[in-house]
Amino acid sequence: MATCFRLRSFGAQRLPPAPPGRGLRPRAGCWRPAPGLAQLRRYAGGPAGLSRALLRTDGFVGGRWLPAAATFPVYDPASGAELGTVADYGVTETRNAVRSAYEAFCSWKGVSAKERSSLLRKWYDLMMQNKDELAKIITAESGKPLKEAQGEIVYSALFLEWFSEEARRIYGDIIYPPPKDRRALVLKQPLGVAAIITPWNFPSAMITRKVGAALAAGCTVVVKPAEDTPFSALALAELANQAGIPAGVYNVIPCSKTRAKEVGEALCTDPLISKISFTGSTATGKILLHHAANSVKRVSMELGGHAPFIVFDSANVDQAVAGAMASKFRNSGQTCVCSNRFLVQRGIHDSFVKKFAEAIKTNLHVGNGFEERTTQGPLINKSAVEKVEQHVSDAVSKGATIVTGGNRHQLGQNFFEPTLLSNVTQDMLCSQEETFGPLAPVIKFNTEEEAVAIANAADVGLAGYFYSQDPAQIWRVAEQLEVGMVGVNEGLISSVECPFGGVKQSGLGREGSKYGIDEYLEIKYVCFGGL
């Protein structure tokens, strides 16, 4: 638990608040300002208007919008066009943001639970009032289909609602020790300043899932969003400010990929930071853990997955195919809980593959995220496409069969066809590592024991799915899968009420649910004697 002391002025430039409507700096060929509206480049489906009031380009520190000496570009993954430029914070700006958050913590921790609850609820209300505009920002910077982006915003806002309620349910305990003249009290107190490092694939929800819990607990935060999607984090800052979240409680420090390493290290090593919460790759998580270890910080990690999707002979094939479609191709396969390996029992294999291929061809439509028909947007960048391409090429070279897809899509360099492979074996790359793209490799198996062994062979364990109509088998497999979350006859498992997290190298701690707030609380034992 952080102990507050007065800090000297840390030299952050004190600027007046930005005037209403200050948004993206127009770039030639990319932006055409209209009254009260910054318009994104025109797509085949028509112009996608973005609210200038929510589009911010500076960092948000101590309740003020502060620029940086340098900026970095943000690109539309669908077209490759530059959307605008954002302040590129470095170590100095990061340290300043941490100090601002620390100063705010010294008063925020004393704010009543009821008041923290009320402010989080106001933030939730503002998100819901602006949900359409926030969704357009997500689609613009991540390429996510607009309907999915709208779903993310509602999901994101619900974390603020949930933790606004949980803020008033932080309970301690009274313990009766053997001596009659003593009572033991157990208190739960906020940790301090939390550094929140989030990914690009859910640029809004990954913030509120962490920040909602932190603020409800009485912590303050410094958010470092992914360089691909900083606008969503900054839009949330605008709404937090409007909701009355006190200055310094919610800070956002955007930075480029070039500076991400030094900024991440600065957050993990700053003595005023008490907690690190990170969602991203296992490799990056290990680096952050190393940095945080020197000062023994509390750490939460939601890292990579390699989710198995098992279909047993007893399964309802149509139900399994529907679950596979939902689990695999949401956000074009770019989610940490996406099914990455499809294990299908021999007796049902051919029927499942046939129906899965038909569903892919019939229901998935690749296109720009702003087009109404689109279900599959672009991948986030060129490297993501190259990884999918590598996995397909490796599998085919080792004997896999392309049932459908298998190539880059004609729409552009960041688009890839939804792909289904059969005759996949465990020695192929797609069986050994997370693809993070629209690739569904199918492995045939014979027995339940074989399927469980294949599923558990990975060194990660975030989510797992299986389909079966056998009650005894359901209990056995659910208990044996080495993952943090299991979907039984269900392909979509995320919910604000339920604990999210993994085992093995998929991370530490849990987010969401009644357990999520405990990640930001310290337990203190008080022995009250002489009674």
Cα–Cα distance, 157 to 212 (Å, whole number): 9
State which amino acid sits at residue 23.
Answer: G
DSSP element (H, E) containing 237: helix 230-243
In the set 227, 302, 371, 511, the catalytic residue is: 302
For the stretch 24-63, what's the b/e string if a residue is b when 16 or more beta carbons lie within 10 angstroms of its beta carbon? beeeeebbeeeeebbebbebeeeebebbbbbbbbbbbbbb
DSSP element (H, E) containing 335: none
3-class DSSP state of 482: coil
In the set 30, 268, 336, 338, the catalytic residue is: 336
Question: Between the CA atoms of 239, 236, 132 and 212, what dihedral angle is there, to the nearest 10 degrees?
Answer: -100
DSSP element (H, E) containing 457: none
Instruction: Verify whether residue 336 is a known catalytic residue.
Output: yes
Instruction: Verify whether residue 268 is a known catalytic residue.
Output: no
CB-based contacts of 293, cutoff 8 Å, min separation 6: none
State which amino acid sits at residue 200.
Answer: W
Cα–Cα distance, 100 to 3 (Å, whole number): 15
Instruction: State how beta strands 220-224 and 193-197 pair.
Output: parallel
**Is 92 in contact with 57 (CB distance < 8 Å)?**
no
By annotation, the residues acting in catalysis are 302, 336
